A and B are shown apart, each in its own frame.
Chain A
């Protein structure tokens, strides 16, 4: 089937319905493209690193607007495209369209939400059922999830990953050796990369999330020196200020979903890495989405009540 990507991009930007067959073709093409990518993709500077998106389509559009846009800028997305927000499908498909249209401008890394199990709990599955009345589109997207990279390396100096480190991983080559084309397991290296969090701990500790580990400065320092990199850029944790550097600048958390879940009141950030590896953060706020006539779009059929009443 032929695919007019620019036309699909136009539809998606307006949050309009995309036909099931179109999604199918889009997912198939994306899968073919992603299949050839390594577990850890090489990326050149300058590049803009983006954190969690979580279905907040209008904020994703703002993100592109504030950071130059995919026509002019290279991007690494650290995962968690779907769940929680009301436009998971549109957000994910828009990124796939850009990936197909500008393959070397955009790198997509898998987040812990890009799995069958998590999307069933956190909204993406329900969103597809609401929008299509069956789960085919959800299945196509999940197939693509299995092919997303696990990480990226910028100029051999900055390691990008969704969650963090794993006690089973010392070197980038060990990540390269993982068989990534599968549903994210409940434990082990692949799971940890997508679930772990940095914390002020002395050594590997249990995570309060139920998967992955907590790791501290010593684990980060060791990873940086073993692999001869200077920074770990990751997402996965809401940061009210949009980003947070830790461990003497050896790790940064970037969060790109402003006013997370339409209620947390946080700002969002993206991190631009220049050719000399200088770090520039851009902060942006949530916009009230508007329709063509300038009216506020309030997502109808709210799937969830948001507060304790």
Chain B
């Protein structure tokens, strides 16, 4: 089961690489001009090293890049820019901060963020052991990452993970909250404003474990912000999207999303961050990706997207994007 879940990382990576190949990403509306080249560079560097590491995975990803549909590319674009812009806002409004990326997979956000923001004191990437060692091998064997991230490894043969003062790769099963919290407590400072990212992680976790994880993190860090992107099953009477999605994923690859139909609306999804406590103040905002497409993407940017590939079906884009959400939950403990 865990192996099947780990493989979703290749899907996320393929989607991102496809969106880059077709020119959707990086987005000029959301990037500095000098970041644009480096964005493409780090992703192709990662992919090139991946090729030497696993021909099979490389082939699989390459195949799906070559036949990427516009609906998927636009969705990947939306997911990426929406998260990126909220991450940057957080980094810009706070002094010293730390970022915890739960279920990081092959996400390479740490690269540009660590370079750009000196106030980012710690960036932690957490995932299952196999995924973390996979990422570790690629980062360590790519000069660009080794140099720019200032990676070190004193004892390579013992399987020690590459790291720097500010960047850590951590192998752990996030369903094991006790162990996860022990690690976080040892590596981060509970008093520093902390950004937690879960981009398609919680949908794979059982309800109880994901709730315990949310509760524990919110109680540990004094001030924080949680960004979470996930699918929701839909709660309208005639809406069959979620049930069909569960069936498709189960039949085609044995993949389960245990809470897709439990947290099937924006409200129910967000309710998990609604900690009832006198000591913790929370402020939650949640939008579906269709709302984000309509409110946050400038007309010039939409114009640019439309020129990249003909979008054949708008309603389909809407159906898909109304079933994905981005949550922003901010919390603060009373002093």
CB pair A302–B252 under 8 Å, yes or no, is yes
B200 within 8 A of A: yes
Q: B15: CB under 8 A from chain A?
A: yes
Most chain B C-beta atoms within 10 Å of own C-beta, residue among A208, A261, A263: A263
Q: Which of A27-61 contact B (CB under 8 A)?
A: none
Q: Are A237 and B315 in contact, CB atoms less than 8 angstroms apart?
A: yes
- CB of A263 within 8 A of CB of B245, answer yes
- A262 with B312: CB separation less than 8 A: no
- Which of A9-17, A67-75, A121-129, A216-224 contacts its partner? A121-129
A259 touches B310 (CB 8 A): no
Segment among B6-14, B128-136, B216-224, B261-269 that sits at the interface with chain A: B6-14
Judge whether B70 and A121 touch: CB under 8 Å: yes
Q: Pick the residue among A112, A123, A197, A211 that contacts B67 (CB under 8 A).
A: A123
Residues on the B chain within 8 Å of A308, using CB: 12, 15, 72, 75-76, 79, 200, 231, 320, 324
A243 CB to closest chain B CB (Å) equals: 13
Complex formed: what's the CA distance from A112 to B314 in Å?
A: 14
The 0/1 profile, CB within 8 Å of A marked 1, for residues 200-221 of chain B is 1000000000000000000000
Q: Are B252 and A304 in contact (CB under 8 A)?
A: no
Q: Judge whether B307 and A265 touch: CB under 8 Å.
A: no
Interface contact A210-B69, CB-CB below 8 Å = no
Contact B316 A210, beta carbon cutoff 8 Å: no
CA distance A123 to B314 in the complex (A): 18
The verdict on A306 contacting chain B, using a C-beta distance below 8 Å, is yes
- Assess A263 versus B311: contact at CB under 8 Å? Given A238-B316, A304-B72: no
Q: How many A-B residue pairs have CB under 8 A?
A: 97
Count of chain A residues with Cβ under 8 Å from any Cβ of B? 36
Q: Residue-by-residue, is A282-309 near B (CB-CB < 8 Å gives 1, otherwise 0)? A: 0000000000000010100011111111
Does B248 sit within 8 A of A, measured CB to CB? yes
Does B64 interact with chain A (Cβ within 8 Å)?
yes
Contacts of B315 in A (CB 8 A): 237-240
Question: What's the minimum C-beta distance from B288 to chain A, rounded to whole angstroms?
Answer: 13
A210 touches B311 (CB 8 A): yes
Q: How far is the CB of B219 from chain A (nearest CB, A)?
A: 30
A113 close to chain B: CB less than 8 A: yes
Beta-carbon nearest neighbor of A197 in chain B: B314
Task: State which residues 63-90 of B face A: CB under 8 Å.
Answer: 64, 67-70, 72, 75-76, 79
List residues of chain B with CB within 8 A of the CB of A121. 69-70, 309-310
User: Which stretch, B27-35, B143-151, B234-242, touches the partner chain A?
Assistant: B234-242
B310 closest partner in A (C-beta)? A210
- Closest chain B residue to A267 by CB distance? B238
Residues of B within 8 A of A177 (CB): none
**Nearest CB in chain A to that of B66: its residue:** A126
B312-329 toward A: CB 8 Å interface, digit per residue (1/0)? 111110011000100000
Q: For residue A208, which residues in chain B have a CB less than 8 angstroms away from its CB? A: 302, 306, 311, 314
Contact A209:B67 (CB < 8 A) given known A308-B231, A309-B200: no
In the assembled complex, the CB of A187 is this many whole angstroms from the nearest CB of chain B, namely 12
Q: Nearest residue in A to B313 (C-beta to C-beta)?
A: A238
Q: Which residues 72-125 of A sit at the B interface, judged by CB distance below 8 A? A: 83, 112-113, 117-118, 121-123
With both beta carbons as reference points, the residue of chain A lying nearest to B242 in the complex is identified as A265
Shortest beta-carbon distance, B1 to chain A, in Å? 15
Residue of A nearest to B318 (CB): A238
Task: From the candidates B11, B67, B244, B313, name the one contacting A309 in the complex (CB within 8 A).
Answer: B11
Let me know if A1 is at the binding interface, CB within 8 A: no
A residues engaging B (CB < 8 A)?
83, 112-113, 117-118, 121-123, 126, 197, 208-211, 237-240, 259-266, 296, 298, 302-309
Cross-chain pairs A/B with CB under 8 angstroms, 12 sampled: A118-B310, A237-B314, A238-B313, A259-B240, A264-B241, A303-B67, A304-B64, A304-B67, A305-B11, A307-B248, A309-B8, A309-B11
Residue numbers of B with Cβ under 8 A of A are 8, 11-12, 14-15, 64, 67-70, 72, 75-76, 79, 200, 231, 238-241, 243-245, 248-249, 251-252, 255, 302, 306-307, 309-316, 319-320, 324
The 8 closest A-B pairs by CB, nearest first: A265-B240, A238-B315, A309-B8, A309-B11, A210-B306, A265-B241, A210-B310, A264-B319
